[in-house]
């Protein structure tokens, strides 16, 4: 612990938001090529992805460097951590890294976001490390459509991973990127799955992220429209919102037959949630971002490898928080997509 680790040194930005949550992108590599994140164009050709080459291992922060950043962030009041990618499970040594994270005093929660391809293989070992919460990205329940969206014929692997994680007792959220003309014909099926399986289903509005994003205005469908569609499955009753529970607006879904489930809606375009944002993101390149949708970054890798003291790193973390914008401008970009505030590569920023 550092001398700045007292409860009085909570991380509060200039808009009175308390920052408690760090998202850590462990790698930009992935075993899928989703159309909105790492599309098919130039896939794997001489190590290329659509927006450029994969990062070399030396360009990623080492696990030791990541542990140092997390330790310092936790010493200042952050207590929640999410591991993302790319696909975090493709990085070697991840299980040992997670075990080290759970040894950090003050870190109360470590969660993982995955595409599920390796989940059946890793689920038991992840559970053994202490992970209990999983977010699984899954935009379709149809195998052929899964191949079209992701570029890989891995739907059976993902479904097997979900069933294994369910068997082990993980708390599972399924993230569905909502795209008109792509998967909007399945929203009712996802809603039914919420009452048939112990999975929370969260619909995410399609966002224009990345300078070569495949986002098209014609594919956008709002949370309001999705709610209207799935109301045919049952009655939606909103949760009482609690501070720090994340950007999703959550609802109980009750069917006429008495079945119950939980669905949520993440609405970055139609309904800003910036006033409740409590997070920072550390990209796989070692850059700290206060906002997913704003390219302003603090290069922690340069500091770490330049011999910076703990005090200097804490100061950089705190300054990033003070520079956190009040909100994003996606609603303006929806009208004029060329006015893009986030040109970074999603697979490097972290999903």
Predicted local confidence at residue 4, as pLDDT: 44
State the CB neighbour count (10 A cutoff) for residue 325: 17
User: Binning pLDDT at 50, 70 and 90, where does residue 15 land?
Assistant: confident
Phi and psi angles of residue 45, each rounded to the nearest 5 degrees, phi first: -85, 110
Residue 324 has pLDDT above 60, yes or no: yes
| 240 contact partners, CB below 8 Å, separation of at least 6 | none
CA–CA gap between residue 163 and residue 174 (Å, rounded): 13
Residue 50 has pLDDT above 80, yes or no: no
Least confident span in 14-23, 129-138, 222-231: 14-23
Determine contact, residues 186/233, Cβ cutoff 8 Å: no
Residue 159 has pLDDT above 70, yes or no: yes
CA–CA gap between residue 303 and residue 301 (Å, rounded): 5
Predicted local confidence at residue 116, as pLDDT: 98
Determine contact, residues 106/74, Cβ cutoff 8 Å: yes
Determine contact, residues 98/114, Cβ cutoff 8 Å: no
CA–CA gap between residue 110 and residue 170 (Å, rounded): 13
Give me the torsion for CA of 338, 340, 345, 348, rounded to 10°.
-170
Please state the rounded mean pLDDT for residues 219-241: 92
Highest averaged pLDDT of the listed ranges 35-39, 124-128, 218-222: 124-128
Least confident span in 187-201, 310-324, 329-343: 329-343
User: Binning pLDDT at 50, 70 and 90, where does residue 254 land?
Assistant: very high
The mean pLDDT of the chain is: 86
Predicted local confidence at residue 341, as pLDDT: 45
Please state the rounded mean pLDDT for residues 7-13: 69
More confident residue, 53 or 81: 81
Please state the rounded mean pLDDT for residues 122-145: 98
Q: Taking each helix axis as running N to C, give the angle between helix 119-129 and helix 94-101, from 0 to 180 degrees, rounded to the nearest 10.
A: 30
Least confident span in 109-118, 200-209, 245-254, 336-345: 336-345
Please state the rounded mean pLDDT for residues 292-296: 80
Please state the rounded mean pLDDT for residues 291-301: 88
pLDDT > 90 in the chain, percent: 68
Question: Token pair of 342, please?
Answer: 């986030």
Summarize pLDDT for 22-43 with one digit per residue, the tens.
Answer: 999 999 999 998 888 775 544 4
> What's the CATH superfamily of 7-349?
Aldolase class I (3.20.20.70)
Predicted local confidence at residue 52, as pLDDT: 56
Predicted local confidence at residue 250, as pLDDT: 94
Residue 233 has pLDDT above 90, yes or no: yes
Domain boundaries, the chain: 7-349
User: Binning pLDDT at 50, 70 and 90, where does residue 210 land?
Assistant: low
């Amino acid at each position: 612990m550092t001398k700045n680790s007292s409860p009085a040194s909570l991380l509060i930005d200039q808009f009175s938001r308390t920052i408690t949550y760090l998202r850590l992108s462990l790698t930009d590599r992935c075993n899928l090529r989703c159309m909105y994140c790492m599309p098919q164009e130039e896939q794997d050709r001489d190590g290329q992805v659509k927006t450029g080459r994969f990062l070399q291992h030396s360009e990623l922060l080492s696990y030791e460097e990541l542990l140092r950043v997390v330790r310092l962030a936790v010493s200042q009041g952050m207590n929640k951590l999410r591991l993302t990618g790319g696909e975090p499970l493709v990085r070697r040594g991840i299980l040992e890294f997670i075990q080290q994270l759970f040894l950090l005093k003050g870190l109360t929660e470590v969660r993982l976001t995955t595409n599920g391809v390796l989940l059946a293989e890793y689920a038991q070992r992840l559970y053994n490390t202490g992970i209990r919460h999983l977010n699984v990205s899954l935009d379709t329940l149809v195998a052929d459509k899964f191949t079209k969206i992701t570029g890989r014929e891995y739907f059976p692997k993902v479904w097997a991973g979900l069933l294994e994680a369910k068997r082990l007792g993980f708390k599972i959220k399924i993230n569905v990127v909502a795209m008109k003309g792509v998967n909007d014909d399945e929203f009712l099926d996802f809603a039914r799955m919420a009452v048939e399986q112990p999975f929370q289903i969260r619909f995410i509005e399609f966002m224009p992220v990345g300078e070569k994003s495949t986002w098209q205005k014609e594919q956008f469908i709002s949370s309001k429209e999705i709610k209207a569609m799935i109301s045919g499955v049952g009655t939606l009753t909103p949760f009482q919102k609690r501070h720090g529970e994340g950007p999703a607006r959550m609802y109980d879904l009750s069917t006429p037959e008495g079945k119950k489930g939980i669905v949520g809606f993440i609405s970055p375009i139609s309904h800003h949630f910036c006033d409740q944002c409590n997070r920072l993101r550390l990209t796989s390149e070692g850059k700290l971002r206060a906002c997913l949708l704003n390219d302003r970054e603090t290069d922690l890798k340069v500091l770490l490898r330049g011999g910076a003291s703990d005090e200097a790193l804490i100061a950089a973390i705190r300054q990033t928080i003070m520079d956190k914008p009040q909100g994003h401008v996606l609603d303006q970009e929806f009208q004029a997509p060329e006015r893009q505030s986030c040109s970074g590569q999603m697979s490097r920023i972290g999903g």
